[in-house]
Amino acid sequence: VNTLCQIAANLAGASQRDVPAKYAFSGRLLTMVLIAAGMLFAMDARAERISDISQTSIGEQAIRFFTFQDPTVRYALIGSILLGITCGLLGSFIVVRKMALVGDALSHAVLPGVALGFLWHTSKDPVAIFIGATIAGLAGAIAVGVIKQTTRLKEDTALGMVLATFFAVGICLVTMIQRLPTGNKSGLDKFLFGQAAAMGPDDIRLMAIVAGLTIVAVFLFYKEFLVTSFDEGFARATGFPTRLIHYSLMLLVAFAVVISLQAVGVVLVSAMLITPAAAAYLLTDRMNRMLLLAAFFGMAAGASGAFLSFLGPNLPTGPLMVLGATLVFGVAFLFGPRHGVVTRWWRQHSRSQRVQRENTLKSIYHVLESRNFQGEGVSLVELAERRRESIEEARQQAKSLCTHRLATLHDDGNMIFLTPEGWQLACAIVRNHRLWELYLTNAASIAADHVHEDAEKIEHVLGEDVVRELERRLDYATTDPHGKSIPGLSEIRKGASGRGKPDEVVGYGGQL
């Protein structure tokens, strides 16, 4: 293991050296190699072989899981957490690079490598399998690239073809190995669907190394990965070795796929790459937060999958982990604070409710204005006529105003009286509307009969600052292009001072 990792690190170093020394790669690389080496020495976990899981009740199994007495449980849990973190981190880059299905192709492409690695010792030697699988995965990634470059086939076709072909080769090899008379064949089929309980200390060690390597690589080369992910043209123009970065990422993804095989299985590894990262993608717009969230989600999914598969006698770990990740994605999809479907629907709904209320208030203001602010309340009939609606609809509107304490209903619910808040809001909306109309006619030279539609929309979203700015630019005008007066700040603050009874604060609530 040590040598393998050193070789990988040295290889990376060697290829880096060819790059013009614009970016102090070498320093960071050295750090990385040192950290990797340090980790290797630190990792000295030795423990007895896995004990077999005996079949007991769910409760006992759960207790056994949470006491962490059993080494099997510890290995399964640690392994799942490690692979969750690794896959989450790398998956984030894969998702933002729109390469989600490259992960899928890579995970299927490793199968022949797994089989060959298995063949090497005719037993389950993690290191041999690791090397074989990584080589096969990279060969798959390169094959996709070559097919895309040299033929007219589209990327999805190339991916699907490589995925299925490599997998078919792997299937042939697996079936050939299974009929070999020699060697221990058990465990190879576990690579298809994963069994976390079959992990041993060697596997865990390998996983820890890869996880550490990934964390360090992401930490040290964060800028490189970030820039090439979001703007490859810019990255190339500024001299980043984009192809090298692409293939290093592929190498890391291949590592991640390989360590996840044991627990998740060939078929579903891509889900551990894609799903937690996609969930994180829905929750944040910052890459560093996305990385953290994705790693956390991956970890949670891994741990829950390990736990659930431990409960039943014949439950595969991989699918349960994937379902855990899907659950997280589902929650993010529905309830994510910004992009969630339900939250967005709710936001839209409440916004349209607010707009509707404001329009009703405006209509009430118009009714009051049309009779020169004589009389206290507005009847439902008047409101319905003004809004060209039925009485019932007007009643609904009025009730909605009441629940928001913008108006009160009297005379068996037939008369609407605005509360001080309602009056203020109505004045503010009308003011926004008329100021905007005036601004459009003055500043944008739009005909006075064309400005209403636009103002009708913008009146609901003009902020305080914009309104102040409009007032200033319009020189505190008091009349709109249609000759109607713009309710001033004093009206908004006090109420109906413009009605000719300036000292009396009346007209908006009805002093009953």
Partner 1 sequence: MNSLVPAFNFHDVFVLPWTTGFSSTVWIVLMGFLVAVACGLVGNYLMLRRMALVGDAISHSVLPGLAIAFLLSNSRSSTAMFVGALAAGIVTTIIIETIHKKTRVKQDAAIGIAFTSLFAIGVVLISMYASKIDLDQECVLYGEIGFVSLEPSVQLAGATLGPMPVVRMGIVAILTVLLIVLFYKELLVSSFDPALAFSLGINATLVHYALMCWLSVVVVSAFESVGAILVVAMLILPGATASMLSQRLPVVLSLTVIHAALSSVLGVHLGTWLNCSLAGAMVVAGAGLFCVAWIFSPSQGLLQRFWHRQKQPEVQFSEAA
Binding site for partner 1 (CB under 8 A): 95, 98-101, 103-104, 108, 119, 147, 150-154, 156-157, 159-161, 163-165, 167-177, 179-182, 189, 192-193, 267-268, 270-271, 273-275, 277-278, 281-282, 312, 314-316, 318-320, 322-323, 326, 329, 333, 339, 341
**Of the two residues 340 and 481, which places its CB atom closer to partner 1 in the complex?**
340
**Of the two residues 84 and 318, which places its CB atom closer to partner 1 in the complex?**
318
CB of 61 to partner 1, least distance (A): 15
Residue 450 and residue 444: Cα distance in Å, rounded?
11
Q: CA torsion angle for 340, 344, 345, 351 (degrees, to 10)? A: 160
CB of 389 to partner 1, least distance (A): 32
CB of 203 to partner 1, least distance (A): 21
Q: Are 270 and 104 in contact (CB under 8 A)?
A: yes
CB of 263 to partner 1, least distance (A): 13
**Listed residue (272, 354, 342) closest to 95, CA to CA:** 272
Contacts of 108 (CB under 8 A, 6+ apart): 140, 163, 164, 166, 167, 170, 266, 267
Burial class (CB in 10 A: 0-12, 13-18, 19+), 292: middle
φ/ψ (deg, to 5) at 188: -70, -40
The secondary structure element, H or E, covering residue 468 is helix 464-473
Residue 232 and residue 176: Cα distance in Å, rounded?
43
Residue 379 and residue 298: Cα distance in Å, rounded?
60
Q: What is the 3-state secondary structure (H, E, C) of 21-58?
A: CCCCHHHHHHHHHHHHHHHHHHCCCCCCCCCCCCCCCH
CB of 225 to partner 1, least distance (A): 18
**Of the two residues 209 and 273, which places its CB atom closer to partner 1 in the complex?**
273
**Of the two residues 159 and 470, which places its CB atom closer to partner 1 in the complex?**
159
Characterize the bridge pairing of strands 407-410 and 415-418: antiparallel
CB of 173 to partner 1, least distance (A): 7
Q: Residue type at 422?
A: G
**Of the two residues 54 and 150, which places its CB atom closer to partner 1 in the complex?**
150
CB of 4 to partner 1, least distance (A): 23
CB of 227 to partner 1, least distance (A): 19
CB of 147 to partner 1, least distance (A): 8
**Of the two residues 265 and 495, which places its CB atom closer to partner 1 in the complex?**
265
CB of 287 to partner 1, least distance (A): 14
**Of the two residues 60 and 189, which places its CB atom closer to partner 1 in the complex?**
189
**Of the two residues 5 and 95, which places its CB atom closer to partner 1 in the complex?**
95
Question: What residues form DSSP beta bridges with 415?
Answer: 379, 410
**Of the two residues 171 and 409, which places its CB atom closer to partner 1 in the complex?**
171
Question: What residues form DSSP beta bridges with 407?
Answer: 418
Burial 21-52 (b: 16+ CB within 10 A, else e): eebebeebbeebbebbeebbeebeeeeeebee
**Of the two residues 81 and 332, which places its CB atom closer to partner 1 in the complex?**
332
Residue recorded with tokens 């490690």:
82
